[in-house]
Amino acid sequence: MKKKLLIIMLLTAFALILMTACGGSAEPAAEGDGSGENDVNETTAAAAPAEVQLLDYGYSVSEDNYMTCGYVIQNPSEDTAYEFPVVNVTAYDENGDVLATEEQTMNKIQPGETQVFTSLVDCNGTSPDKVEIDIDTGEAISPSADAIKSSDLEISGTNERTDDLDDTSITGKIKNNASKDTDSAAVTVLFKKEGKIVYGATSFVDNLGAGKEKAFEVTEYNVPEHDSFEVSALDWGF
């Protein structure tokens, strides 16, 4: 009997040694240890960069049914830039049919950057009943350490003047505080009434060197009634 018990004990010990050598374990794998499908899904979700967002927009329609839109976009990502995002503007008639559509391809937008721009849409002789504006993010690219961001283009000394012909001019100065030159900077004015965008206008300043300052003027005819305006700029160089 003792001999039989000893054989059973030896066989049990031998089995445990084999399990240890083969990496076996009586304990379940810890949750989130990188060995399960859930870990792959969570990693993929965390790695997906945030897309470019449309923060604000507004528009007005002229007597000859041209629609002028102003809008604000932002890249909320902390580590991903985007190349060539597209702002889509679509005008509809009272029946829900498309009157006109316009695509505006932007340049690059760096992580955390906010940009302002405008679009002009020919509504083909009809005043739109509804307008939709959305944005396609564009292609994700690596950020550029020496990129000229909108925050690097400083606007100062702005003034508004309207002449006898109803031309409205916004004047001021733009300074390039970045470390590189740009061959073109887009200066955009958003006209607002009670905090809402009612019109946008863009002009361009060429050959703005690093650390340099230049005057700008944005002039538009028959600007809608407004009580404030905001001026910003973005690098339009290629």
Task: Give me the pLDDT at residue 49, please.
Answer: 76
Tens-digit pLDDT profile for residues 5-61: 444 444 444 444 444 444 444 444 444 455 545 554 554 455 667 899 999 999 999
Return d(Cα 114, Cα 136) in angstroms, integer.
15
At residue 113 the predicted structure's pLDDT band, cuts being 50, 70 and 90, is very high
Query: Both tokens of residue 162?
Result: 């309207």
Q: Which CATH topology does 53-235 take?
A: Immunoglobulin-like (2.60.40)
Task: Give me the pLDDT at residue 133, please.
Answer: 95
Average pLDDT score, the chain: 86
Q: Please return the burial class of 50, using the count of CB atoms within 10 Å of its CB with bins 0-12, 13-18 and 19+.
A: middle
Return d(Cα 16, Cα 29) in angstroms, integer.
19
Task: Give me the pLDDT at residue 42, please.
Answer: 53
Task: Give me the pLDDT at residue 38, please.
Answer: 52
Name the strand (E) or helix (H) holding 12. helix 2-21
Position 228 pLDDT exceeds 50 = yes
Cβ-based neighbours of 37, under 8 Å, separated by 6 or more? none
Least confident range from 20-34, 193-207, 210-224: namely 20-34
Categorise residue 166: left if φ over 0, alpha if ψ from -120 to 50, beta otherwise: left
Q: Please return the burial class of 237, using the count of CB atoms within 10 Å of its CB with bins 0-12, 13-18 and 19+.
A: middle
> Which CA distances in Å does 142 have to 35, 80, 109, 145, 236?
30, 6, 11, 9, 19
Task: Give me the pLDDT at residue 11, please.
Answer: 47
- Lateral strand order in the sheet of 196-208: 196-208, 182-193, 228-235
Tens-digit pLDDT profile for residues 133-174: 999 999 999 999 999 999 999 999 999 999 988 899 999 999
Report the half-sphere exposure of 196 (CA within 13 A, side-chain side): 7
Task: Give me the pLDDT at residue 39, please.
Answer: 52
Contact, 112 vs 103, CB < 8 A?
no
Task: Give me the pLDDT at residue 238, please.
Answer: 76
Position 195 pLDDT exceeds 80 = yes
Return d(Cα 56, Cα 189) in angstroms, integer.
14
Least confident range from 5-9, 84-88, 160-164, 194-198: namely 5-9
Contact, 53 vs 74, CB < 8 A?
yes
CA nearest 111: which of 81, 74, 150, 152? 81
Position 184 pLDDT exceeds 60 = yes
Mean pLDDT within 226-234: 97
Q: Please return the burial class of 137, using the count of CB atoms within 10 Å of its CB with bins 0-12, 13-18 and 19+.
A: buried
Position 62 pLDDT exceeds 80 = yes
Task: Give me the pLDDT at residue 86, please.
Answer: 97
Task: Give me the pLDDT at residue 5, please.
Answer: 42
Cβ-based neighbours of 45, under 8 Å, separated by 6 or more? none
> Which CA distances in Å does 60 have to 80, 190, 231?
34, 12, 18
Q: What is the pTM of this model?
A: 0.78
Task: Give me the pLDDT at residue 50, please.
Answer: 86
Bridge partners of residue 204, in order along the sequence? 186
